[in-house]
């Protein structure tokens, strides 16, 4: 069967009747990749798997929410959508608006967005509004403007966004043969995604239907087990660790440079109900994990995404995450969006030689020694 995106695949679990036409780029259905080298090096006898959301059409998990939000907006007759963004939401909004033939207005923080993400908004023809402020300012402005302007908000305060994003939990359960993992780790910024995953796990778990979904009976999902949800923030932008809003969030992980998360209550509920926790990672820790994953597993995620694995590895080391358990880390975005961060870290293996066989051979032999 040809895969046509998550709205069609999970329609019975989404608020879309059969008459609603999906605006889709065939998002979702991303791989759950088992890490083979890092667990061994960490002395971990359980499993660590990464849900690589960077392989969505615009390179981040935002496509899951955006297909749902834009599908609904178009169904309601909207001609324009608007969002504030640290870069990925705007990239997704721009692409799905292009697909639907409507206008996307995106408010982005001045200068603090990865170049690839800015290019995405531009190439898909969005109206890009750079504000002299941060994401939290943008979010406030979007809410104010949408009170009067005929634009549909597609930030995660739009409930359709989280509906779309919850499908990642369904895919993970399917990939694990009908079971949830023991722990689910993810980066937290605006806190929509952790809320969406928790909703997805709970819904999958509570469902009592005999209908089959891609080989697994839905009943098989209802095994009573839910993961502990661990949310990791960048230390300079960690309102969940500080107990409230952070006025001037700062981190190299620009995607999660957010001080005033909109899904505050939902995220706390996910943490409390699941028996999970929030923790923080420093910028050097985040970048080191991004490198580790790329160099030892061949998976390149963006800095914000690495916070999930960074926190998980620390909690495995401390024993907070139990030996022998199954851990899923969401890698929210693709490393290709932000090559600057890697280049800035230095080109340690770049060797410059003359365009001569002997020079190239010498360079290779020196490295093999
Ligand atoms: N990882 C990446 C790569 C992101 O782009 C975001 C959020 C998050 C993690 C955090 O997810 O907000 O649901 O807690 N990016 C938003 C944006 C804010 O505008 O692209 P969250």
Q: How far is the CA of 283 from the centre of ligand 1 (A)?
A: 16
CA 212: distance to chain centroid?
28
Q: Is residue 216 scored above 60 in pLDDT?
A: no
Q: Tell me, what's the pLDDT at 222? A: 56
Residue 247 makes CB contacts below 8 A (sequence gap 6+) with: 259
Tens digits of per-residue pLDDT, 257-269?
999 999 999 999 9
CB 274 within 8 Å of CB 227: yes
- Mean pLDDT for 115-135 is 98
- Mean pLDDT for 296-324 is 98
CB 154 within 8 Å of CB 70: yes
Taking the C-alpha atoms of 229, 235, 236 and 240 in order, what is their torsion angle to the nearest 10 degrees? Answer: 40
| pLDDT grade for 209, boundaries at 50, 70 and 90 | very low
Between the alpha carbon of residue 158 and those of residues 152, 163, 240, 358, the distances in Å are 9, 9, 21, 61
Q: Tell me, what's the pLDDT at 345? A: 85
CB of 332 closer than 6 A to ligand 1? yes
Whole-structure pTM value? 0.95
Q: Tell me, what's the pLDDT at 208? A: 40
Name the β-bridge partners of 331.
52
* Tokens read off for 94: 């721009």
Candidates 309, 287, 320; CA nearest to 35 is 309
CB of 85 closer than 6 A to ligand 1? yes
Tens digits of per-residue pLDDT, 164-186?
999 999 999 999 988 999 999 99
Surface-to-core class of residue 23, CB atoms within 10 Å of its CB (0-12 exposed, 13-18 middle, 19+ buried): buried
Q: How far is the CA of 194 from the centre of ligand 1 (A)?
A: 10
- Mean pLDDT for 198-207 is 85
Question: Atom 6, ligand 1: which residue's CA is nearest?
Answer: 255
Q: Which of 81, 159, 187 to mutate to test the pocket of ligand 1 (most atoms within 8 A of CB)?
A: 187
Q: How far is the CA of 368 from the centre of ligand 1 (A)?
A: 41
| pLDDT grade for 215, boundaries at 50, 70 and 90 | very low
- Mean pLDDT for 324-346 is 95
CB of 331 closer than 6 A to ligand 1? no
């Amino acid at each position: 069967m040809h895969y046509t995106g998550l709205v069609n695949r999970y329609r019975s679990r989404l608020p879309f009747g059969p008459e609603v036409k999906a605006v889709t780029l065939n998002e979702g259905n991303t791989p759950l990749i088992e890490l083979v080298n890092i667990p061994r090096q960490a002395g971990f006898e359980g499993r660590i798997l990464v849900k690589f959301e960077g392989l969505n059409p615009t390179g981040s998990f935002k496509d899951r929410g955006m297909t749902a939000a834009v599908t609904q907006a178009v169904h309601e007759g909207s001609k324009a959508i608007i969002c504030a963004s640290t870069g990925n939401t705007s990239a997704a909004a721009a692409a799905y608006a292009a697909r639907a033939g409507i206008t996307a207005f995106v408010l982005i923080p001045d200068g603090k967005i990865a170049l690839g993400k800015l290019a995405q908004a531009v190439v898909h023809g969005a109206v890009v509004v750079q504000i002299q402020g941060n994401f939290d300012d943008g979010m406030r402005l979007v809410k104010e403007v949408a009170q009067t302007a005929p634009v549909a908000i597609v930030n995660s305060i739009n409930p359709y966004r989280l509906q779309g994003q919850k499908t990642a939990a369904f895919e993970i359960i399917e990939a694990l043969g009908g079971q949830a993992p023991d722990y689910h780790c993810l980066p937290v910024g605006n806190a929509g995604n952790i809320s969406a995953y928790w909703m997805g796990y709970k819904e999958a778990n509570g469902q009592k239907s005999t209908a089959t979904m891609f080989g697994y009976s839905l009943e098989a999902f209802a095994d009573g087990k839910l993961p502990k949800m661990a949310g990791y923030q960048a230390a300079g932008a960690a309102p969940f660790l500080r107990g409230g809003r952070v006025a001037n969030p700062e981190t190299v992980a620009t995607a999660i440079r957010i001080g005033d998360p909109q899904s505050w209550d939902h995220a706390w509920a996910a943490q409390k109900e699941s028996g999970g926790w929030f923790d923080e990672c420093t910028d050097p820790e985040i970048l080191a994990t991004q490198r580790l994953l790329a160099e030892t597993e061949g998976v390149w995620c963006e800095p914000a995404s690495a916070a999930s694995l960074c926190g998980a590895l620390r909690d495995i080391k401390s024993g907070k995450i139990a030996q022998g358990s199954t851990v899923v880390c969401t890698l929210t975005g693709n490393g290709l969006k932000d090559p600057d961060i890697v280049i800035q870290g230095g080109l340690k293996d770049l060797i410059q030689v003359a365009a001569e066989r002997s020079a190239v051979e010498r360079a290779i032999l020196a490295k093999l020694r």
